[in-house]
Amino acid sequence: MPLYKEEGLSPKIKKILGNSLSKMIELRIKNNDFEGDEGQTISLFTDGEFCKKLVLVGLGKKEEKVPHQNELLGGTISGIAKKSKAEKISVFVNEDFESIAYGIILGTYEFTFYKKTDSKAKELKDVCFLTNDSKENLEFLKKLSAFENASILTRNLINTSAGDQVPQDLANEAKKIAKKYGMKVTILDNKKLKKLGCGGIIGVGQGAKDGPCMAFLEYKYKSNKKEPSIAFIGKGITFDSGGMNLKPSGHVETMKSDMSGAGTVLGTMQAIAELKMPGHFLGVIACAENALSDKAIHSGDVLKMYNGKTVEVVNTDAEGRLILADALSYTEKNFHPKNIIDIATLTGAVVYALGYKITGVLGNKDEIIKDVLDSSKNAHERFWQLPLDADFIKATKGDFTDLKNATDGVRAGTIMGAAFLQNFIEKTAWAHIDFAGTSWAEKPTPTTKYGATASGLRTLLELAIKHQG
Ligand code: BES
Ligand code: ZN
Ligand code: ZN
């Protein structure tokens, strides 16, 4: 039971708890044993009629509430359940049911693949939300369940080591989803990409033993739309060593997570299918390993991209934009989607701009950016728009090539990443999501002990819901 500081029990809650349990709690509050400070918890063991154990969770002062507080509360609740080895819990929900529920789902996740786990360990199986059973809430539970399964897939993929997951493995995941849900899947392997002239992704992937690939997952159900309403495109760098511009210690350790965009797109497509959403959607993953070897691209190499433009590789660590560029122009030319939304751990700069809690979004049309921002609000995720003005796009021009993949002296790294990508969109409404700051948690939070956060997934799912039909 979450309680704000000085909140006390409402008559409604007292009625649910009954006289003796209510009195017990009120006594603890009266004796300053539970003051409701943020993070404070106390446990009361009961006769087991209503529950075996009641845990009060302090929320601090109501007027000092911060964004995401209820999601973190959900995470804290899942932590309490785990510590208590509870298989069944009930949660009093007096506000923001969705955030609390998302928090519980996120906080319950554990990545156990590499652990010799105790198979007898109890797991949280049932969560009962003590709130109203409005049509809206019941509808939300369906979405929550699809989100849960998708978030597990996405987080497992992101948390898996690069030694165990090469580009083709991600394409195989796309194949698995396609088979399970009856979607059409197309894989472009190294050979096909070469033949098509996708010099960007070929160049980035050429240093690794396992070659690059792209996968296209097409979902169409109860829709007469000829073209996809949205193409979701994810960056799938299975490991980003930086290449010749080798990443130093402190920056390279978590680079297995540089395929977060691809993992999120796969999760989104699975959730769409699980919800049997009417609509036409395309999921695209562009996969490669940015390795350093005698075969890797050199600084100064010139790549010819799928759309014919030439790019000087000024910095081999700015590889995400090179693979996405080919994926964007190939998707636009061959699938004609109404909207394109890419999601990528593209720049370290977004961490300087927005930190670890807020995701950046940029794009070429106001309407699609508004769509992304609105969807992020519905999903209870924090997104913020960064400007993508024409002078930044001009600054991506090359000296003796059409473009270069990095420009000295501009700084605005996240804007420059997006500016580069815009050269590969001809006319389609396009938004670019940079979640390099939010896709991975280095420090533990109530919702992510360590590793992949599943950030962005809910927003993409809301976008699909908005464009269904
Ligand atoms: N994968 C990185 C971005 C990144 C940084 C993701 C931190 C997650 C956490 C990306 O490929 C990269 O290295 N970008 C460079 C671009 C620069 C060389 C223009 C960067 O941000 O430093
Ligand atoms: Zn890089
Ligand atoms: Zn990268």
**CA 320 to centroid of ligand 3, rounded, Å:** 5
pLDDT digits 0-9 by tens, 19-37:
988 999 999 999 999 999 9
**CA 133 to centroid of ligand 2, rounded, Å:** 47
* Residue 116 pLDDT level (bands cut at 50, 70, 90): confident
Domain definitions of the chain by residue range? 2-134, 150-466
Question: Quick check: CB of 240 below 6 Å from ligand 1?
Answer: yes
pLDDT of amino acid 119: 59
Catalytic machinery residues: 247, 321
**CA 348 to centroid of ligand 1, rounded, Å:** 5
Query: Percentage of residues in the chain with pLDDT exceeding 90?
Result: 93
Question: Quick check: CB of 434 below 6 Å from ligand 1?
Answer: no
**CA 247 to centroid of ligand 2, rounded, Å:** 8
pLDDT of amino acid 434: 99
Atom 13 (ligand 1): residue with closest C-alpha? 317
pLDDT digits 0-9 by tens, 392-438:
999 999 999 999 999 999 999 999 999 999 999 999 999 999 999 99
pLDDT digits 0-9 by tens, 35-59:
999 999 999 998 777 789 999 999 9
CATH, domain range 2-134: 3.40.220.10
Residue 118 has pLDDT above 70, yes or no: no
Question: Quick check: CB of 197 below 6 Å from ligand 1?
Answer: no
| Ligand nearest to the CA of residue 236, numbered in listed order | 3
Question: Quick check: CB of 319 below 6 Å from ligand 1?
Answer: yes
What atom in ligand 1 is closest to the CA of residue 257?
A: 8
Atom 22 (ligand 1): residue with closest C-alpha? 348
Residue 357 has pLDDT above 80, yes or no: yes
Ion ligand 3 neighbours (CB, 5 A) are 237, 240, 258, 320
| Ligand nearest to the CA of residue 352, numbered in listed order | 1
Question: Quick check: CB of 406 below 6 Å from ligand 1?
Answer: yes
Question: Quick check: CB of 271 below 6 Å from ligand 1?
Answer: no
Ligand 1 binding pocket mutation candidate from 347, 352, 415 (most atoms within 8 A of CB): 347
Average pLDDT over residues 297-304: 98
Instruction: Examine domains 2-134 and 150-466 and report if their fold is the same.
Output: no
Residue 120 has pLDDT above 70, yes or no: no
Residue 345 has pLDDT above 70, yes or no: yes
Residue 162 has pLDDT above 70, yes or no: yes
pLDDT of amino acid 167: 99
Question: Quick check: CB of 315 below 6 Å from ligand 1?
Answer: yes
Atom 8 (ligand 1): residue with closest C-alpha? 436
Question: Quick check: CB of 348 below 6 Å from ligand 1?
Answer: yes
pLDDT of amino acid 285: 99
Fold of 150-466: Aminopeptidase (3.40.630)
pLDDT of amino acid 460: 98
Question: Quick check: CB of 345 below 6 Å from ligand 1?
Answer: yes
What atom in ligand 1 is closest to the CA of residue 319?
A: 11
**CA 208 to centroid of ligand 2, rounded, Å:** 14
Ligand 1 binding pocket mutation candidate from 257, 317, 354 (most atoms within 8 A of CB): 317
**CA 378 to centroid of ligand 1, rounded, Å:** 29
Q: Which two tokens stand for residue 332?
A: 């636009």
pLDDT digits 0-9 by tens, 188-213:
999 999 999 999 999 999 999 999 99
